[in-house]
Amino acid sequence: MILKRTCFVFLFLMTFTLGFSYINMNYQPIFAQVFEFQEDDYFDVDEQDKRSSTDTNGNSYSDTDDEENANTNGDDDEEDDDSSEKKSSKKKKKGSEYMDQPNYGMSDGDIQKYYVQKYDLNGKFLGGFGSKGNGDGQFLHAHNIAVDSQGNIYVTDEQRMDVQKFDREGNFLLSWGAPTDENLFSHKMEDVNVDKEGNVWVVNWGPGKLMKFDPNGKLLMTIGKKGNGPGEFNRLWGVAFDSDNNIYTSEKYAYRIQKFDPEGNFIKQFGEYGEGDGQFRHLHAVAIDAKDNVYVNDEDNGAVTKFNKDGEFITNWGSVGKNEGQFDEPHGIDFDSHGNVYVVDTQNNRIQVFTSDGQYLKSIGKSGSGPGEFLLIHDLDIDDNDIIHVLDSRDAHPNKIN
């Protein structure tokens, strides 16, 4: 009896050992290949995404340094000899370097763009700053941007209800509004601009106020209230200044531009509802060039209209669409040192560039998450060195202010 049991156990162990050896020998390479394919495929997607990113001049964008790029053509054979584990290790290393880039980071596999981005006039990406959050230097719904003559950058955030000030490198300097003063702004904040004396003007359209601050956030003056009369505002949106520091404002629902002297005294108004010359359906930004000509964006008409400083119509261009010279919600406007006009084409996620008489020159940017791409571009400001500061709001307006 004992002998039978011993033989049975021996045969069972032999059968189990032979069977396990057979399965391991025949199927382990297959499992290894499947795992290797999945791992390589995952990292190859990241690498391909990075390789396929291009700047606005059509040049390939890479996050690896020059030495790595220089080796990509000469080391193909050597890299082919690497094991899959070694390849994966290299790709992970590149991925980690990509995450550590100062201008872009990754979170849950998605590139997290900075709210403020800088470009030269050719559309070359120069850097950026600002992440999502409630801390200093962070944003929730950044809305408009302005740069003073010293290179300081001001950004309004209509969800945080504050203005933040940064130096030219993007280092946080100070802020005013909420949470220190919850009652200074409503959540209906729009444009910000800097006059010739360095004062900061903020549009608070909810109460119909145009607010003047010194560069440190001290309130100096308030212009306007809700209404349709002279010096009153019906959905105030934009503010700009001519060479004499006269103030020009744009209103969405009053369909007009108002002009004030530097002390805030009403001078005149021009514009009316319609689709003809000098008429508007949805006024947005106002900007003034070096010759004191006044440019206005009309979101619904998809057009840019140009006046002289006295409000006399000069020309307009554009229509609703996605082609060159067309717009889908044109917002911010500014000018380079050559007098060319840069128009934010919000829903098309690009900046279109024109001569001062409206001749199309080129476009900068497109929809996307890479360099030279935007999620929801909203405003821009070109500084004295012809650096374009772009504000990418990154998402739609918060529901509470729609």
| Number of other residues whose CB lies within 10 A of the CB of residue 152 | 18
179 upstream amide cis, omega within 30 of 0: yes
SS (H, E, C) 176-218: EECCCCCCCCCCCEEEEEECCCCCEEEEECCCCEEEEECCCCC
β-pair partners for 317: 304
CA distance 30 to 337: 64
The two three-digit tokens of residue 297, written as one number = 């964006």
* More confidently predicted of 85 and 153: 153
The two three-digit tokens of residue 1, written as one number = 């009896």
Q: pLDDT of 348-358, one tens digit each?
A: 999 999 999 99
Which residues have C-beta within 8 Å of that of residue 52, sequence separation ≥ 6? none
pTM beyond 0.75, yes or no: no
Q: pLDDT of 38-74, one tens digit each?
A: 333 322 223 333 333 333 333 333 333 333 333 333 3
The two counts, helices (H) then strands (E), for the chain are 4, 32
The alpha carbon of residue 260 and the mean position of all alpha carbons in its chain are separated, in whole angstroms, by: 31
Q: Contact at 8 Å (CB) between 117 and 127?
A: yes
Q: What is the pLDDT of residue 18?
A: 54
Indicate the burial class of 144 (C-beta count within 10 angstroms; 0-12, 13-18, 19 or more): buried
> What is the edge-to-edge ordering of all strands in the sheet holding 236-241?
236-241, 247-251, 256-260, 266-270
CA distance 353 to 336: 10
Q: What is the DSSP string of 77-139?
A: HHHHTS-HHHHHHHHHHHHHHHHT-SS-EEETTEEE--SEEEE-TT--EEEEE-EESSSTTEE
Q: In the structure, what pLDDT confidence band is assigned to residue 201 with cuts at 50, 70 and 90?
A: very high
Which residues have C-beta within 8 Å of that of residue 122, sequence separation ≥ 6? 56, 57
Tell me the residue length of the chain. 402
Q: For residue 391, is pLDDT > 90?
A: yes
Q: In the structure, what pLDDT confidence band is assigned to residue 33 with cuts at 50, 70 and 90?
A: very low
Q: List the single range of 3-17, 38-52, 254-268, 312-326 with lowest mean pLDDT.
A: 38-52
Q: What is the pLDDT of residue 105?
A: 36
The two three-digit tokens of residue 126, written as one number = 């120069």
Domains and CATH numbers, the chain: 1-50+82-101 (no CATH), 117-401 (2.120.10.30)
Indicate the burial class of 336 (C-beta count within 10 angstroms; 0-12, 13-18, 19 or more): middle
The alpha carbon of residue 345 and the mean position of all alpha carbons in its chain are separated, in whole angstroms, by: 12
Q: What is the pLDDT of residue 393?
A: 87
CA distance 394 to 112: 9
Mean pLDDT over residues 14-42, rounded? 41
Q: For residue 124, is pLDDT > 60?
A: yes
- What is the phi/psi pair of residue 172, to 5°? -65, 135
CA distance 218 to 175: 11
Q: pLDDT of 141-152, one tens digit each?
A: 999 999 999 999
Q: In the structure, what pLDDT confidence band is assigned to residue 372 with cuts at 50, 70 and 90?
A: confident
Q: In the structure, what pLDDT confidence band is assigned to residue 371 with cuts at 50, 70 and 90?
A: confident
The C-alpha R_g of the chain, in whole angstroms, comes to 29
Q: In the structure, what pLDDT confidence band is assigned to residue 182 with cuts at 50, 70 and 90?
A: confident
* More confidently predicted of 103 and 255: 255
